[in-house]
Amino acid sequence: MASMEQIQDFLSQKRLAFVGVSRQPKDYSRALFREFGARGYDAVPVNPGAEEIEGHRCFAHVQDIEPVPDGVVLLTSSEVTRQVVDDCIQAGVKRIWMCRTAGKGSVNAQAIGACQAHGISVIPGECPFMFLQGDYVQGGGWVHHFHGFVKKITGSYPN
């Protein structure tokens, strides 16, 4: 489990890559990408199947991004996560957030181990929406606040 210190450090970065952001406008990954952009982050989309997303140039791989992003949000399946972490290691990324909304999400035990072995701060399995402060630009913020509340009363919210 990640610590609140790691989460706050990640969210204090300004240039974040979103790997696996969907080409589908109504997808969760697009809502998250838009929300970070609306909050002033330099959100960089990564999807080898798209040339642009939300008006931003889309990159095929993390290593293609110049300058290197401060952090990477993984919106991939857990099966793809290990390869993306290798890409992040090659690129020199220092922070990775493996999103989980349902099921395993992006979380992959081997990828977590690779992050730790290479000194990368990794947040395995939290939904970033839960930790964004204030009102949500895209709406639906109550769902994420409620999710965070449930995690707090069950003892699974990061300390």
pLDDT tens string 4-29:
899 999 999 999 999 999 999 999 89
Q: What is the pLDDT of residue 137?
A: 45
Q: What is the pLDDT of residue 139?
A: 47
Q: What is the pLDDT of residue 155?
A: 54
Angle (deg, nearest 10), helices 109-117 and 78-91: 10
- Determine the Cα–Cα distance for residues 27 and 13; give it in Å rounded to an integer: 24
Q: What is the pLDDT of residue 157?
A: 55
Q: Is the pLDDT of residue 158 over 90?
A: no
CB atoms < 10 A from the CB of 150, how many?
12
Residue pLDDT, tens place only, 72-112? 999 999 999 999 999 999 999 999 999 976 667 899 999 99
For the sheet with 121-124, list strands across it. 42-46, 15-19, 71-74, 95-98, 121-124
Q: What is the pLDDT of residue 133?
A: 65
pTM of the model: 0.85
Domain parsing of the chain, residue ranges: 4-153
Residue pLDDT, tens place only, 113-157? 999 999 999 999 888 988 786 555 444 454 445 455 454 565 555
- Determine the Cα–Cα distance for residues 17 and 93; give it in Å rounded to an integer: 10
Domain 4-153 has CATH 3.40.50.720: yes
